[in-house]
Amino acid sequence: MSGRLAIAVLVSGAGTNLQALLDSVHGHEADIVAVASSGADAPALARAQARGVPSAVFARSQYRDRLTRDRELADWLAARGVQLVVLAGYMELLSGEFLARFPRAVINVHPSLLPAFPGLRAIEQALAYGVKVFGVTVHFVDEGVDSGPVILQRAVELPGARDPDEVVRALRPLEHAMLPEAVRLYAREGLASDPNNPRRVLLDVRAPRSGEG
């Protein structure tokens, strides 16, 4: 055992946020011990394989219902000692039973300044609304849709944006920086709930890494 935080990354697509984690926190503040995909065709699986990280596919179509899928997924993660679950472009909802297996230990990255534009096609929603400022949120996951307590948020002004790809290009570097930052904070026990407002996450960037004095 390395003594580092054991994390799992759940993916559905290309896996650029997984790569950002592999290139930053993996082997340092944390160890990625499992990658689970919602589909066998996700390019993210090749990224895990290239780094020797165990991976598996938990496609919704392979199970009787979502709850059965989530139970098997949670069992697979627990067997690998996972302490934190990171959703990195994971396009599936997780059941309350799954979240209860990893209490306050599931985080997600979302391409909007929540609570604005939750759910699918957030960038398209924002463009249709005509916003001038876009952004990224890293948040804890609860049973709602992108409704958990906010950990980190950053914004970028794009007053003339009309194309989703243009916004994606602007937001991607934020995602690739913020998700590892959130993992580092979690690993250092630098996240706490405000006793006066449980929805507010207090950040302690000075918190020591796990195992440090």
Give me the active site residues, please: 110
3-state class of 33 per DSSP?
Answer: strand
The pairing of beta strand 191-194 with beta strand 150-157: unpaired
Work out the angle between the directed axes of helices 164-187 and 16-24 (0-180°, nearest 10): 40
Tokens of 196: 């006066």
Nearest-angstrom CA–CA distance, 97 and 101: 7
Tell me which amino acid residue 110 is. H
CB 112 within 8 A of CB 137: yes
